[in-house]
Chain A
Amino acid sequence: MTRPTFTRRSVLSGSAGALAGAALVGASPHALASAALLRERKTKHVILVAFAGGVRTRETLDTPDNVPVLKQMADEGVVYPRTRTANLGHFGAAMSIFTGISEARGIRENARGPDPTVFEYVRRDAGLSASEVWMSTSGGAQQANYAYSTHSEYGPAFGANTLDGDGVFNQEFKDIVDRFGRPREMDGREVELLERMRGSIESGDDAGGVNTAETARQVERYILDELTRGTADLRGVNAGDAKSLQVARNLMLMFRPKLLGVSLQNADVAHGSYNSYVEVVRRNDVALGELWEVVRSDDSLRESTAIIVLPEFGRDRDLNSRRGLDHGDGSDDLNYVSTVCWGPDFKRGHVVNREVRTIDVCPTVCDMLGAKARMARGRKLPQLFG
């Protein structure tokens, strides 16, 4: 199949970009076929939460007191309690949620994968800009790799803007900013000269990254503003996850992204302490509730936002010698997790007991936002829509 050729700038910038995006959608048979269906659906925003770090259903939906928020979402939405996972290590297993492909990745591998992610599919097919597709992470540098792949037809030009809350919004980094002081504001003439000089550099100003010059400036402003809010001051056993969810909340308010990925990680404290693990699960549920509240308290978002929550895999059935929980015994506790879907187009209070897979989430989200996960090996989640 011959694919239309276009540059990231032509697609993403201004009204010309919108027209190009529309033309692209017009050129795609899949997009045409799904356009009518999309018009009927209310969902315009999707929040995909990888409740990762290895979390068993035993400590979530099977113990509702731990997760009252998740339980309420489940009661108002659709639950897949037999969601099959692959024990690929945290990085690989979480990556497979976003790519729709189960492929082994090294536990400490710190590189982008070859398979396009849900963010790339959605940005490309729906012609979305970088400020409309975000990812908020908790796991440091490694999780920034979820934003986009090395695939030649996708890649950074279609990636998500990714922020690791714990990496950027921490007291240590805030101290650096405070020590240097805020940058001097440039007046209009100085900005004009700056842009003229930058524009004259003959190697071109396309960094090959996620952002255009315009969205990069938006992100710059957002980072400086967020540093003055309280996110950097969050503490506790789930501090990384709490920041990830708080950043997600603020991103939802400021950018109202079409697709927002959230990736958590702190539950992996379970290797050394079961009690700390349960505490992380409880606190993350509270923070998830705050994110949900942003959606429910906004008239527009409430009627147009879907939330999908699932771990990348569970944990072992039995405690280890340190009274913690590893992940490697091949038990059902490890291999099956629960996926919770809440949104305006979904069934309410429905439980789907047939087996699905974590890799089914990527094509499902793509379908909801008018994209096609061409390389994904999963299928759309069954019995989801009302």
Chain B
Amino acid sequence: MAGGSPRLRLPAALLALFAWALAGPAVSQRAAQVPDDDLSRGAPSRTLDSGVLRAVYLDLLGRPPYRAERDEWLGRQLADLLGELTRGEELWEHWTEEQLYYFLLIDNFRPRSDRVVAIPGDLREGRIGVRDAIHRIVLSSSFDQRNPGPDTFVTVVMEQLLGLTVQKQPRELHIGKQLYDGQEGMFLGRRGRSQADVVKISIEDRRCLSQLLEREYRRLLRRDPDRRELARWTKRLDKDPLAYRDLFRDWIQSEAYEQRLSEEIVQPNRLYVRSMYVDLVDRLPDKEEERRMRNALDGLSDPGPLRAVLARLLLDSGTAALPAKDEIEDPTAWVGGLFERLYGRAATPTELKSFVTAFHDPACRPATVLYALVSHPEYHSF
């Protein structure tokens, strides 16, 4: 992942903070809609502008908001949105997808068992916690097929679940392989004698929760967590398996998330494909379209050229709902709206002037304007 770099999002974020400071949750008309559990935590919420709304949707659902969702949420409170999203299943579907991608259980190795398919619904209903969800994934036959043989299986479990460097733990690796083959042994301080025991012992190890929280924090906040905080969260999640939703709501409303909003990184390809479809067609790609495009993009060290090809394919295919040029009565408003929607920020006067001037040239189509925006590196970041 490329390192973060300050972008034009900062002024928007500061403006929003300023607006929040002036308004305050208590005077917001929307405050009455904040669920009790959010208010009781005492975390100040903030008003959703285009940039924050887009970032939160991308972080939590892996896509930008649909047009109807933008209309519904702009100007409302972040806490309200978080309450709504955590009550829905889509957030947990995205969370599960991110875990599968982390374990590289994609394409032919994608788990299809009922227990894995049920994870998002069970998480939403609070029937299981995130540790149980990971346990189901690692117990799936897909995980076994992806990591064949004792050496690979135990190595991956130790590395990906516990964050261990197996080369520094040759004895534990050796014992884990013995368990995998059905022999009894003390693995990570606990007795076991099967492949399932390797998984169970690892899942129940405190380092598993710590590793999970650490990488989730990095994914959402793009920085390492404070070690003491991490220890506290780990302890909390160990006691209360359902505490994760509260933790990440706290993270998204933290100062660290405010900082994350000011630093953009290149979107992973899986997010880019979904963003492009939502922004240009107002729907998600179907699973096959998403998989094929993502795989193609993942095959390049610099996906920029292929992203540009895909955007042009979509724009020129007639799939994207583009207004006819003569239907656009106010080009300035239209271009300004595109900047808000696609970049999560207002266009600067210079940008507006340049785009509107180009728009009036007979050679410029509405698709040309959209292509200029979605093929630009700023669109590839979030």
Contact = CB atoms under 8 A, between A and B. Distances in A.
Interface of A: 88-89, 104, 106-112, 130, 135, 137, 140-142, 144, 147-148, 150, 156, 159-168, 170, 172-173, 175-177, 179-184, 186-187, 189-190, 193-194, 196-211, 216-217, 219-220, 223-224, 271-272, 320, 326-328
A182 B314 CA distance: 10
B7 A203 contact: yes
A31 to B, nearest CB: 25
A206 B377 contact: yes
Contacts of B266: 207-209
A208 B2 contact: yes
B351 interface: yes
B299 A166 contact: yes
Contact of B308 (A107, A110, A193, A220): A220
A333 to B, nearest CB: 15
7 contacts: A88-B167, A106-B159, A108-B104, A141-B295, A144-B301, A156-B302, A210-B301
A102 to B, nearest CB: 10
Contact of B159 (A107, A164, A186, A204): A107
A180 B293 CA distance: 13
B300 interface: yes
A130 B302 CA distance: 10
Given A166-B299, A201-B351, A202-B350, A177 B304 contact: no
A202 B364 contact: no
Interface string B354-368: 110010010111001
B380 A190 contact: no
Contacts of B14: none
B160 interface: yes
A241 B279 CA distance: 36
9 nearest A-B pairs in the assembled complex, by CB-CB distance: A167-B299, A164-B299, A147-B301, A200-B354, A162-B301, A328-B151, A141-B298, A207-B377, A210-B302
Interface string B159-188: 110000111100000000100000000000
Contacts of A130: 302
A108 B103 contact: yes
B305 A211 contact: yes
Contacts, number: 204
Contact of A164 (B300, B377, B378): B300
Nearest to A206: B377
A140 B298 contact: yes
Interface centre among A176, A182, A327 (most CB of B within 10 A): A176
Nearest to A243: B299
A19 B244 CA distance: 56
Contact of B165 (A104, A148, A211, A224): A104
Which size bracket describes the interface of B in this complex?
35 or more
Given A88-B167, A173-B292, A197 B8 contact: no
B304 A207 contact: yes
Nearest to A160: B301
Contacts of B377: 203-209
A365 to B, nearest CB: 18
B339 to A, nearest CB: 9
B254 interface: no
B1 A111 contact: yes
Contacts of B315: 183
Given A104-B165, A203-B377, A144 B299 contact: yes
Contacts of B305: 211, 216-217, 219-220, 223
Nearest to A196: B358
Given A107-B159, A200-B355, A159 B299 contact: no
Given A104-B166, A111-B1, A219-B305, A198 B299 contact: no
A135 B160 CA distance: 27
A271 B148 contact: yes
A168 B363 contact: no
A120 to B, nearest CB: 11
A128 B103 CA distance: 36
A272 B289 CA distance: 31
A109 B159 contact: yes
B84 interface: no
Contacts of A106: 156, 159-160
Contacts of A166: 299
Contact of B296 (A168, A211, A219, A271): A168
Contacts of B369: 197
B302 A161 contact: yes
Contacts of B363: 187, 189-190, 193
B141 interface: no
Contacts of B70: none
Given A177-B313, A183-B309, A196 B301 contact: no
A165 B309 CA distance: 17
Interface in B70-120: 102-104
A159 B151 contact: no
Contacts of A108: 103-104, 147, 156, 159-160
Given A107-B159, A203-B377, A208-B5, 20 more contacts: A104-B167, A141-B298, A161-B300, A162-B301, A162-B302, A168-B306, A176-B293, A176-B313, A179-B317, A183-B313, A183-B315, A193-B364, A196-B354, A197-B372, A201-B378, A202-B348, A203-B378, A209-B304, A211-B305, A220-B309
Interface centre among A141, A160, A176 (most CB of B within 10 A): A141
B30 interface: no
A171 B105 CA distance: 21
